[in-house]
Amino acid sequence: MTSLISRMQAVQSPIIPIVGELIKNSPGTISLGQGVVSYNPPPEAIELLPKFLAEPTNNLYKAVEGIPPLLAALTAKLSTFNGIEINGENCIVVTAGSNMGFMNAILAITSPGDEIILNTPYYFNHEMAIAMASCQAVLVETDENYQLRPEAIAQAITSKTRAIVTISPNNPTGVVYSQALLHQVNQICGELGIYHISDEAYEYFTYNQVKHVSPGAFAGSTEYTISLYSLSKAYGFASWRIGYMVIPQHLFMAVKKVQDTILICPPVISQYAALGALQAKDDYLRENIGALAQPAVGIAEVRQLVIVALNELENLCSIIPANGAFYFFLKVHTQMDTFELVKRLIQEYKVAVIPGTTFGMNDGCYLRVAYGALQKDTAKEGMDRLVQGLQTIVKG
């Protein structure tokens, strides 16, 4: 049978399963690859499941946008943590993770051939979603510290531009964008009548007294700001698939059409678990993320260990300080092919990282190091292998 050509052939293959297959073929490999956390959801999430099971109609479809108790809890959270008030001009839609929220947004605001501005390095699933929608990702380089360049972004805007995407705290760099830069980008969107899509999946992961900023809280931004959130990271909810988006009210019907077609409604059992998670005590996030704790605990403690190890690579790599998420993005001083380096690290040193090419960084050799999924001892062993591997392979 003749192979049919579809739009999917223009979409890059997701890198996590590719690296996962290499890890599978090299038993004992420690992964510094996938962006997940090591800890479990809070007990409050599990404690609410009997309530779901006790309701005899929970086997039926529920509202496309989410169950009312969860929407109410999210409304309160957005007000207290993000400074975003839900009113008649905006609304919340619960999604199956924030990746789905992004796809909802792209399909709701674009037609084939439209353009979406991504700042490089970008999150690969964003670029993939844009391609799937038969739209064009327009790439704008960040500065030498991976911060936004509003002037360059403004110059990239054309009559086909529909949105600018920002991710803060950032995946893959771990950088947190400043309030001033985010405000500049948000103002550009408002002045030119395009959308600002703000991905805030790592909102709780900030360090060194750095504060998270939500563009949706800027005065006058409600009509054109789309904010994306996730429980996958902070609450250990990766497989439960619950995220949510805050959208202008005028996009509600378009987003409902997309979500009703793809999903119908977010998994109701997961929504109950999410409702429970949002009732977790502050100690849960403090103890697991450690962003507010002194001395550092949880992920923040692992982060300090990773920083110490990376200091040994300062002659081999450029490493930009990062105050958010659970990533560092290394530029390795080598002419080697990035994916070849990743393969050798797995096969010869049993440590896995993600190649920068999948984030749009093709001019040089870049690696993303993720440390959220590991306990302290495993992280130290993984970083020791990475340091030894890079020192041997690159110098050799």
Q: What is the pLDDT of residue 256?
A: 98
A 10 A CB-CB count for 286 gives 16
- Asked whether the predicted pLDDT for residue 142 surpasses 80, the reply is yes
Q: What is the pLDDT of residue 2?
A: 57
* pLDDT, averaged across the chain: 95
Q: Is 43-281 a CATH 3.40.640.10 domain?
A: yes
Integer CA distances (angstroms), 47 to 62, 244, 287, 288, 295, in order:
21, 22, 20, 19, 31
- Asked whether the predicted pLDDT for residue 123 surpasses 70, the reply is yes
Given a contact cutoff of 8 angstroms between Cβ atoms, the answer to whether 307 and 174 are in contact is no
- Asked whether the predicted pLDDT for residue 150 surpasses 60, the reply is yes
Cα–Cα dist 227/315, whole Å: 39
Integer CA distances (angstroms), 180 to 89, 185, 208, 324, 356, in order:
25, 9, 18, 17, 27
Cα–Cα dist 330/317, whole Å: 6
Q: What is the pLDDT of residue 293?
A: 66
Q: Considering only 105-119, 177-191, 231-245, 281-295, which range has the smallest mean pLDDT?
A: 281-295
Angle at 168 between CA 162 and CA 174, to 5 degrees: 130
CATH number corresponding to 7-41+286-395: 3.90.1150.10
Given a contact cutoff of 8 angstroms between Cβ atoms, the answer to whether 101 and 245 are in contact is yes
- Asked whether the predicted pLDDT for residue 313 surpasses 60, the reply is yes
User: How large is the C-alpha radius of gyration of the chain?
Assistant: 21
Identical fold at 7-41+286-395 and 43-281?
Answer: no
In the block, tokens 């510290």 appear at 145
Q: What is the pLDDT of residue 66?
A: 98
**How would residue 292 be classed by pLDDT, with cut points 50, 70 and 90?**
low
Cα–Cα dist 195/132, whole Å: 19
**Ramachandran sector of residue 330 (left: φ over 0; alpha: ψ -120 to 50; beta: rest):** beta
Provide mean pLDDT across the span 282-307.
84
- Asked whether the predicted pLDDT for residue 92 surpasses 60, the reply is yes
The ranges assigned to domains in the chain are: 7-41+286-395, 43-281
Q: Output the six-digit token pair for 296.
A: 């550092």
